[in-house]
Amino acid sequence: MPFGRYFEEFEVGQVFQHWPGRTVTEADDTWFSLMTMNQHPLHIDAHYAAQTQHGQRLVVGTLVFSLVVGMSVADISGRAIANLEYEQVKHVAPVFHGDSIYAESTILEKKESATKPDRGIVYVETRGYNQRGETVLTLRRRVLVPKRPA
């Protein structure tokens, strides 16, 4: 079964609702912090975090980023040759243990490759939001996608 889309299947203004979402557990966050060597106490020390403005641990931002990008793979980059660039990554609101994260992407632009006629670049904005519909993360990226074989 094919996975992902060809360049011709993207249209400017097209919106993809990525599904399913993902509920972030304490274990997810702790393991991700340990795997990535992020030792900031805001993520791994409940006592420390209780004394901060949010009063509890925050989910590591790069975990939220990874989840949101991962949710978009089937719709956006499943056939990608490469993710060329990530830009304007913005952490808009905190994510806490037990929050469910969802994502949607909008196609902003697409253009054929200037050097290789068998591919094109899709420029996309992806928004991550929680179970209350609050935006928690936005990002833009350029994805190199093959054209449909002749």
List the chain pLDDT tens, one digit each, 150 residues.
578 999 999 999 999 999 999 999 999 999 999 999 999 999 999 999 999 999 999 999 999 999 999 999 999 999 999 999 999 999 999 999 999 999 999 999 999 999 999 999 999 999 999 999 999 999 999 999 999 988
Q: Domain extents for the chain?
A: 7-23+59-146
The sheet carrying 15-23 orders its strands as: 15-23, 100-112, 119-130, 135-146, 82-91
Question: What's the CATH number for 7-23+59-146?
Answer: 3.10.129.10
